[in-house]
Amino acid sequence: MDKKLIGVDLGGTTIKFAILTTEGEIQQKWSIETNILDEGTHIVPDIVSSINHHIALYNMQVEQFVGIGMGSPGTVDLDAGTVIGAYNLNWKTLQQVKKVVEQETGIPFAIDNDANVAALGERWKGAGENNGEVAFITLGTGVGGGLVSNGKLLHGVRAAGEVGHMIVQPQGYLCTCGNHGCLETYASATGIVRVARDMAEEFAGNSKLKQMLDDGQEITSKIVFDLAKKEDLLGKMVVERVCYYLGLACANLANLLNPSFVVIGGGVSAAGEYLLKRVNKYFQEFAFPVVEKTTTLKLAQLGNEAGVIGAASLALTFK
Amino acid sequence: MDKKLIGVDLGGTTIKFAILTTEGEIQQKWSIETNILDEGTHIVPDIVSSINHHIALYNMQVEQFVGIGMGSPGTVDLDAGTVIGAYNLNWKTLQQVKKVVEQETGIPFAIDNDANVAALGERWKGAGENNGEVAFITLGTGVGGGLVSNGKLLHGVRAAGEVGHMIVQPQGYLCTCGNHGCLETYASATGIVRVARDMAEEFAGNSKLKQMLDDGQEITSKIVFDLAKKEDLLGKMVVERVCYYLGLACANLANLLNPSFVVIGGGVSAAGEYLLKRVNKYFQEFAFPVVEKTTTLKLAQLGNEAGVIGAASLALTFK
């Protein structure tokens, strides 16, 4: 009998679920709202009851499942299956996720942080082509990362894969982490807007972006890229600077890990080939020759589904 | 019966050998000169006959050995057991090392490149404390590296661990690899002298180092550090700049891998705590807070023996 996997992608606004084959094909998917009230105490019970409900709904048995895998914000203890410090979930104290889920579903449970899980998803079924050497960078509100080498996620002591906190400009912008010049301060969605505001101040030419900023209009990273694609002068300069830092970070990452693919995902990566081409230009400038020839930059392919797919793959260890 | 390991550290001037227990204790060691004549065709036969000679000398049997491990310069193909492009050995064409050694000794053979093998040695029996998460940086004529995560060396597609070619100063010094601003151009033995010459040009104070450079005397990285320790003004400035780039590179490495230890070895590391303290200052400035708390910089402990010990550890896979 073909056994199935369950993947859970826990986010601040929704919790996504999927039932997958052990080959990673999604067979069912659904989602519920994340109820962060009462210090997030409803979250784990909601996950459990949603899983149990859907197992019953699809006339399936607990024995048909290899395991449940989940990606979570916050600091995850893989072995204990606990999470702490997931502030967007109101989880300030230690959450016994694995213990409760296994008790209430009767299915083995594994957990990792959301960036790592998205990396596993893209690696398994997306741009990573199931290769054993894949780095994943996600450009969203922040910049996250997940690194796979020798076919396994790298965790280090606790916080490997902090791609967003690589220093690309010593004495650069102040980051929320307290350091200066982290990649995140330039290449996250908010970082790009920050670069735009900064460069606009010294820009004296003709630019719609400049006008919008001077008018006090709301600017997003998407607007910056869209205007750049339409040949807006300031927009092009901002994109060039952002891609310079991204290319430098990708090159230094690749000089250390020499992955087959550096996969770029997250909201900002919606800028597509326009972004990739420019990051690649700087990557090629800064990568060690052998690395430049053997590591390829790619856009992510799975979008929102990377999380549930990667989460489900955590459960393959129970196979 | 306790089986033994053989470690071979192949260098451009000497070949070091050791017989070790499977716990990594050296029981016998010897070395021979590297004969690079005739396109290095004598090297593998010399290794084989030296091993066979010493096995007989110590009244040992082939069956007493788990395996032979070797570290080599050049580009190593781990699976095929071949080496190519080791120019300091005059090995320009593909060398069938594994095939010949196994045939002529009857002992299983494994090989990796010299920086990786030194990393394995320091990780196993030196500063790495046999931890599963260790990064090794060697500061010699060049700057090399070896990265261990999840208890295994990272190889990437081909060239993981190129720590010396991380870009620490875009548009900086031209490197032999063709890129600009590689760590190696500032922090290798020759890089340090280059920084000294450069900074001497603009230096106008009182300095023995400045005098020596102006007099056309031969300068080494050791002289730079020795003078800095004696409060030479220019010497101190040079050391500060070198340690800044080393600290930045160590931080970016640790932001990605969060190893338990970043171990600094090679000839330049003879500067000891004086070097470590200053690298650490910049490491702390640039490392992500969790990384700063969990990753420790250390000096290498094994010196020249790291190579044979790490090489021998490759043979543990045959156990």
Using H for helix, E for strand and C for coil, what is the string for chain B? CCCEEEEEEECCCEEEEEEEECCCCEEEEEEEECCCHHHHCCHHHHHHHHHHHHHHHCCCCHHHEEEEEEEECCEEECCCCEEECEHHHCECCCEEHHHHHHHHHCCCEEEEEHHHHHHHHHHHHCCCCCCCCEEEEEECCCEEEEEEECCEECCCCCCCCCHHHCECCCCCCECCCCCECECHHHHCHHHHHHHHHHHHHHCCCCCHHHHHHHCCCCCCHHHHHHHHHCCCHHHHHHHHHHHHHHHHHHHHHHHHHCCCEEEEECHHHHHCHHHHHHHHHHHHHHCCHHHHHHCEEEECCCHHHHHHHHHHHHHHHHC
* Residues shown for chain B: 319
A247 within some domain: yes
Q: Are residues B145 and B204 in the same domain?
A: yes
Chain-centre distance for alpha carbon A281: 23
**Co-location of B114 and B225 in the same domain:** no
Q: In terms of CA atoms, which chain A residue is nearest residue B163?
A: A256
Burial of residue B64 (CB within 10 Å: 0-12, 13-18, 19+) is middle
Separation of alpha carbons B119 and B134, rounded Å: 8
Smallest Cβ–Cβ distance between A290 and the set B158, B260, B289 belongs to B158
What's the gap in Å between the CA of A36 and the closest CA on chain B? 26
So what's the pLDDT on residue A75? 87
Residue A126 within a domain: no
Rounded-to-integer distance, Cα B218 and Cα B212, Å: 8
Is the same domain home to A159 and A261? yes
Same domain, A93 and A16: yes
Please give the radius of gyration of chain B, using alpha carbons only, rounded to the nearest integer: 21
pLDDT in tens, B116-149: 999 999 999 999 999 999 999 999 989 999 999 9
Asked if the model's pLDDT at residue B88 lies above 90, the reply is no
Does A125 fall in a domain?
A: no
Residue with tokens 């994943």: A136
How is residue B175 written in tokens? 């490197």
Residue at A269 is within a domain: yes
Enumerate the residues of chain A whose CB falls inside 8 A of the CB of residue B165.
255, 288, 291
Residue A41's CB: how many other CB atoms inside 10 A?
A: 15
**What is the full per-residue pLDDT of chain A (319 aa) written as tens digits?**
689 999 999 998 999 999 999 999 999 999 999 999 999 999 999 999 999 999 999 999 999 999 999 999 988 999 999 999 888 899 988 999 999 999 999 999 999 999 999 999 999 999 999 999 999 999 998 999 999 999 999 999 999 999 999 999 999 999 999 999 999 999 999 999 999 999 999 999 999 999 999 999 999 999 999 999 999 999 999 999 999 999 999 999 999 999 999 999 999 999 999 999 999 999 999 999 999 999 999 999 999 999 999 999 999 999 9
Do B69 and B78 meet the contact criterion of CB atoms below 8 Å apart? no
Q: Are A255 and B166 within 8 A, CB to CB?
A: yes
Residues A87 and A175 in one domain: no
Which residues of chain B are within 8 Å of residue A257 when distances are taken between CB atoms? 147, 154, 156, 160, 256
pLDDT digits (tens, 9 = 90+) for B234-277: 999 999 999 999 999 999 999 999 999 999 999 999 999 999 99
% chain B with pLDDT above 70: 100
- Grade residue B177 by pLDDT with cuts at 50, 70 and 90: very high
Please, are residues B281 and B247 in contact by the beta-carbon 8 Å criterion? yes
In this structure, the answer to whether residues B275 and B313 fall within a common structural domain is no
Same structural domain for residues B74 and B162?
Answer: no
Q: Tell me the C-alpha distance between B35 and B32, whole Å.
A: 9
pLDDT confidence bin for B75, thresholds 50/70/90: confident
> Do residue B257 and residue A156 have CB atoms under 8 angstroms apart?
yes
* A313 within domain boundaries: yes
Would the pLDDT of B76 be above 70? yes
Task: State residue A1's pLDDT score.
Answer: 65
pLDDT of residue B87: 85
Residues A93 and A12 in one domain: yes
CB A316 within 8 A of CB A125: no
Contact B156 A252 (CB under 8 A): no
Q: Do B139 and B246 sit in the same domain of this protein?
A: yes
Q: Which residue has the tokens 């709202």?
A: A33
Is A67 contained in some domain? yes
Residue whose structure tokens are 């979250």: A43
My answer on whether A50 and A72 are in the same domain is yes
- Collect all residues with Cβ–Cβ distance below 8 Å to A160 and sequence separation of at least 6: A147, A154, B149, B256, B257, B258
Angle formed at CA A30 by CA A24 and CA A33, multiple of 5 degrees: 130
**Residues B148, B196 contacting (CB under 8 angstroms):** no
Q: Is B179 on the interface with A (CB under 8 A)?
A: yes
| Shared-domain flag, residues A164 and A218 | yes
What's the pLDDT band for B1 if we cut at 50, 70, 90? Answer: low
Record the tokens describing residue B221, joined without a space: 């990285």
On whether both A112 and A183 belong to a single domain, the answer is no
| CA-wise closest residue to B51 among B13, B1, B91, B104 | B104
**What's the CA gap between A277 and A35, in Å, rounded?**
40
Q: Is A216 on the interface with B (CB under 8 A)?
A: no
**Domains in chain A: how many in total?**
2
What pLDDT does B55 receive? 97
Which helix (H) or strand (E) is A26 found in, with range?
strand A26-33
- Residue B99 sits at φ, ψ, to 5 deg, of -55, -45
- What domain range includes position A84? 4-120+305-318
Query: Which domain CATH number covers A312?
Result: 3.30.420.40
H or E element that contains A209: helix A208-214
- How high is the pLDDT of residue B92? 86
What pLDDT does residue B86 have?
Answer: 86
**Contact status, residue A123 vs residue A130, Cβ threshold 8 Å:** yes
Q: Nearest chain B Cα to A296, which residue?
A: B157
B302: phi then psi, degrees, rounded to nearest 5: -95, -10
Q: What is the mean pLDDT of residues B286-291?
A: 96
Whether residue A68 lies inside any domain: the answer is yes
A178 reaches B (C-beta below 8 A):
yes
Cβ of A149 and B156 within 8 Å? Answer: yes
Q: Which helix (H) or strand (E) holds A134?
A: strand A134-139
